[in-house]
């Protein structure tokens, strides 16, 4: 394939899905969201290869890799970030990470708060004005959110946020293509993608000390 514009591939596994998009310039060549609670590690690369084949493109045609960095599922974030960094290294192209909160707020106008489920009646939240972040992302309890907030609250987890929080919340499904569009705005010296963790993992290291391996030589 001889693309008429640089090709960019974006993907995200930070939530209960495997989502990806392939763009030539701003034209969407392929876009998919497959809901799944587990199995993203096994599904991600077959999905990406299917999308490249559908567009008649090859890995070597890629100019940019965009990846969702969370917050979200710890294992899912590591899967996609590691894949993006590995692809960028092997293909010699650029990789850019995009926060899921920025992704949710993409294209919005006025004041909004983007929210992601953090479980146990808690959320990750970040304020935006006209799509630009105006504060740092944080974890907070649902009950501590200001019910008098004059803007719009956005979330992609309706069952765990919108059904609990009494103030109206708009539930949206972020488009995978917007992940690529946001990555293209990143400065040329943006750091390599890294997971965005806003809370400690659920799993804890064992309390017992590790075994001592004796050298019997």
pLDDT in tens, 34-60: 999 999 999 999 999 999 999 999 999
Residue 201 has pLDDT above 70, yes or no: no
Give the whole-angstrom CA distance, residue 177 versus residue 194.
Answer: 20
Please, what is the average pLDDT of the chain?
A: 90
Are 67 and 80 within 8 A, CB to CB?
yes
Give the whole-angstrom CA distance, residue 141 versus residue 175.
Answer: 27
CATH 3.30.420.40 domain extents, the chain = 7-99+175-184
Opening angle at CA 212, ends 211 and 217, nearest 5: 140
Of 3.40.50.720, 1.10.3720.10, 3.30.2130.10, 3.30.420.40, the CATH number of 7-99+175-184 is 3.30.420.40
User: What would the two tokens of residue 129 be?
Assistant: 């004005």
Give the pLDDT of residue 121: 85
- Ramachandran sector of residue 32 (left: φ over 0; alpha: ψ -120 to 50; beta: rest): beta
CATH of domain 107-171: 3.30.420
The residue among 1 and 136 whose pLDDT is bigger is 136
Q: Give the length of the chain.
A: 217
**What residues contact 4, with CB distance under 8 A and at least 6 apart?**
24, 25
Residue 216 DSSP SS3: coil
């Amino acid at each position: 394939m001889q693309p008429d514009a640089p090709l960019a591939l974006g993907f995200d596994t930070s939530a209960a899905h495997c989502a990806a998009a392939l763009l030539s310039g701003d034209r969407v060549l392929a876009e998919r969201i497959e809901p799944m609670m587990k199995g993203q590690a096994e599904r991600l690369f077959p999905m990406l290869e299917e999308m490249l084949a559908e567009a008649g493109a090859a890995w070597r045609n890629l100019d940019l890799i965009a990846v969702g960095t969370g917050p979200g599922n710890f294992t899912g974030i590591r899967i996609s970030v590691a894949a993006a960094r590995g692809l960028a290294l092997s293909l010699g192209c650029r990789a850019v990470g995009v926060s899921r909160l920025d992704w949710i707020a993409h294209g919005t106008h006025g004041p909004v708060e983007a929210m992601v489920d953090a479980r146990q009646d808690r959320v990750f939240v970040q304020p935006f004005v006209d799509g630009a972040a105006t504060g740092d992302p944080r974890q907070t309890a649902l009950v501590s959110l200001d019910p008098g907030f004059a803007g719009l609250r956005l979330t992609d987890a309706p069952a765990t946020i919108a059904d609990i929080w009494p103030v109206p919340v708009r539930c949206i499904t972020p488009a995978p293509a917007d992940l690529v569009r946001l990555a293209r705005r990143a400065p040329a010296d943006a750091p390599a993608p890294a997971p965005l963790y806003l809370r400690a993992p659920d799993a804890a290291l064992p309390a017992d000390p590790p075994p001592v391996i004796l050298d019997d030589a």
